[in-house]
Amino acid sequence: MVSLDSSFLIDLLAGTPRAVQAAREIDRTAEGRYLTAPAASEVLLGAYRLGGAYLERTRQLIDRLPLLPLDRQAYHEAGRLGAELLRRGSPLGQADLFVAAITLRHGERLLTRDRAFARVPGLAVQTY
């Protein structure tokens, strides 16, 4: 199963060939796809800014994806990861910390274009 990051969803909505190919591969394998609330809110920020048909397409895409919940274990993991990455001198933004922590908490891998996630210990990352 795979957790979809905002970068992937934005690229998919834009028709970026690599993202479209990654989506086709997931379709081919019938692998489960999931979304985190922070990734959804990042995608929606741009969609609300653009409005119109883009907002409607975005809503249709993200509203049909099951949501991985943010629970106590995940927010503790976000804090732990954030502190560890700060100590290493390579912090992530808060939204990305939550995406990583929620994905880790549920044992998923993260599909993203953002290579910064590779710095997160234990997180399985698939880039395209």
Delineate the domains of the chain, giving CATH numbers in brackets.
2-127 (3.40.50.1010)
- For residue range 44-78, what is the model confidence (pLDDT) as tens digits? 999 999 999 999 999 999 999 999 999 999 999 99
- For residue range 90-128, what is the model confidence (pLDDT) as tens digits? 999 999 999 999 999 999 999 999 999 999 999 999 999
State residue 111's pLDDT score.
98
Q: Closest Cα partner for 7 from 99, 106, 122? A: 99
Distances (CA, A) of 76 to 38, 91, 125: 16, 16, 20
DSSP-derived letter for residue 115 is: G
Compute the half-sphere exposure of residue 23: CA atoms within 13 Å on the CB side of its CA.
17
The model's pTM:
0.93
